[in-house]
Chains A and B, each alone.
Chain A
Amino acid sequence: MNSTQDDLIHYLLLLGDSALIQGQRLCEWCGKAPAIEEELALMNVGLDLVGQARNWLDYAAELLADGRDADDLAFRRDERAYRNLLLVEQPNGDFAVTMAKQFLFDAWHLQVLKGLCDSTDLRIAGIAAKALKEVTYHLRRSSEWVQRLGGGTDESRRRMLAAITQVWRFTVELASGSEAETRLAAAGIGADPAQVGAAWLHQVEATFASVELSLPPAASHFYLSGRTGMHTEHLGILLAEMQFLPRAYPDATW
């Protein structure tokens, strides 16, 4: 396996795992949303993300070529092998936490996918082009919720501020990428993490400013990193639930 291939597999896992874990968190909202319209929207966004995860993991499995398929990657990898962003594995909390997470992720996701639409890897460009349409909708929706909650009532504003404070430190992974991602970008395959980070910050700042929410100081690097499989304690429990059936019945066909 050459090193570009290795970089690419890790990158596909970052994309696929992040979409999958964000989708899994949205599944937890089923039946508990603040309005029926939101039941529909949360499940709709989750469905898009799990669909995208399947596309990225299919490709990762093909490149790995070790007999595993996308389901194996999703349901039989431990937390140390998961490559998702730390932000998306955070618990749902209240609706403000869920929407703050969704917005910060969507703003990053959109920029990554925009960059990937021009990838010289046509498989990546194809998946990204389809996903970009969905994520454009996700970002519109989540940024509107940041505005509604940030600019709604005193209570909703207080909760949105608390939510941002709670999850902001995990945005360090959105603002900057890894050396491998920079190498992939230079090779014309991946989105440039520096560009993504700058455009992400610009979007977040603009949405926050529209309802007079100030941008917290840039998050700084700390011990953990989703990209290297160093997760918060939340991921293991999430995977225990998500992976239970394939783990308990390894010979089963579903």
Chain B
Amino acid sequence: MYAQLVETGVKRIKSLDEMSPQERAFQEKIDAEIKIEAKNWMPDAYRQTLIRQISQHAHSEIVGMLPEGNWVTRAPTLKRKLQLMAKIQDEAGHGLYLYSAMETLGADRDEEIAKLHSGKAKYSSIFNYPTLNWADMGAVGWLVDGAAIVNQVVLQRTSYGPYARAMVRICKEESFHQRQGYEILLTMMRHGTQAQKDMVQDAINRLWWPALMMFGPSDDNSPNSAQSMAWKIKRQSNDELRQRFVDQTIPQLELLGCTAPDPDLKWNAERGHYDFGAIQWQEFFDVLKGNGPCNQERLATRRNAIENGAWVREAAVAYARKQQNKNAA
């Protein structure tokens, strides 16, 4: 659950010689692995890139509640219901951490949320896929949170201090969710009926490629990555992280006794990595542009929540003001 395509607005990376003294001092600090904090000087493009990335990350947590919320009323046992409710609650909490981290950069959460609702700001493409059977709750935990963790573990070393610290807290909870998700699938595969095993394979078939897309475009088609890497906002390339995810996930897939929907997937002893098939990039860009299976529903749900809740928030503000006046009098 993170940001996968963030504009930096930078066409070409400046060399140290081309930088102003301020810019140069900033870059040297980055190169020396000193964290940037809210009150430090930073290039405007660094600030704006981070606002875009962290808000996208926060939006992903919030929109990401919806595919799971779809099954929380239908969870099949009390234990599974409790797990799912705890997970959704954690996600709302992650959204709040991230909006706070973003606000240290001078952005306003309501303004950024308005950009999400108008379609200007993005969220992770994965949450535009529907959850169609109970096994999706396991597969989302295992594959989607798994992919998020691979990305977020690296972001614990990101150059902006408040973001890095948010990642440390979030990763602890996400790892727990991922294990729970895997356990849902393992239970169905080891103790379930044939119908349940079919559900698991169906969930994997539908979510496998979308999970791989969570790492963003391939490195040769990722024009914003170089600047993000130079600023150490990103620490590893999209393709490196995607490869790591595939390498660590295949043994787990085998333990389940399931397969990936990829005929080209095979171990490459020479590289020491799994080779895998080509991602459907057209689908990825379509989904990011708003033409995925659930984009309209997801945004409509979030817009309605905020619009229908306006009178509640106004009431809270009005009541707080009345109490303040009463106390002052």
Contact = CB atoms under 8 A, between A and B. Distances in A.
Interface of A: 23-24, 27-28, 30-40, 43-44, 46-47, 50-51, 53-54, 57, 70-71, 74-75, 94-95, 147-149, 151-153, 155-156, 159, 241-242, 244-246, 249, 251-254
A71 B196 contact: no
A31 B96 contact: no
Classify the interface of chain A: helix, strand, loop or mixed: helix
B134 A245 contact: yes
B81 A95 contact: no
Contacts, number: 146
B132 interface: no
A24 to B, nearest CB: 6
Classify the interface of chain B: helix, strand, loop or mixed: helix
A34 B305 contact: yes
Contact of B322 (A23, A35, A151, A241): A151
Contact of A242 (B73, B86, B99, B318): B73
Contacts of A252: 76, 188, 192-193, 195-196
In this complex, the member of B78, B96, B195 whose beta carbon has the largest number of chain A beta carbons within 10 angstroms is B78
A166 to B, nearest CB: 17
Contact of B73 (A53, A241, A249): A241
A17 to B, nearest CB: 12
Interface in B65-104: 65-66, 68-69, 72-82, 85-86, 88-89, 92-93, 95-96, 99
A205 B28 CA distance: 65
B89 A95 contact: no
A30 B65 contact: yes
In this complex, the member of B80, B309, B318, B319 whose beta carbon has the largest number of chain A beta carbons within 10 angstroms is B319
Contacts of A35: 309, 312-313
Contacts of A241: 73-74
Given A50-B78, A242-B73, A43 B319 contact: no
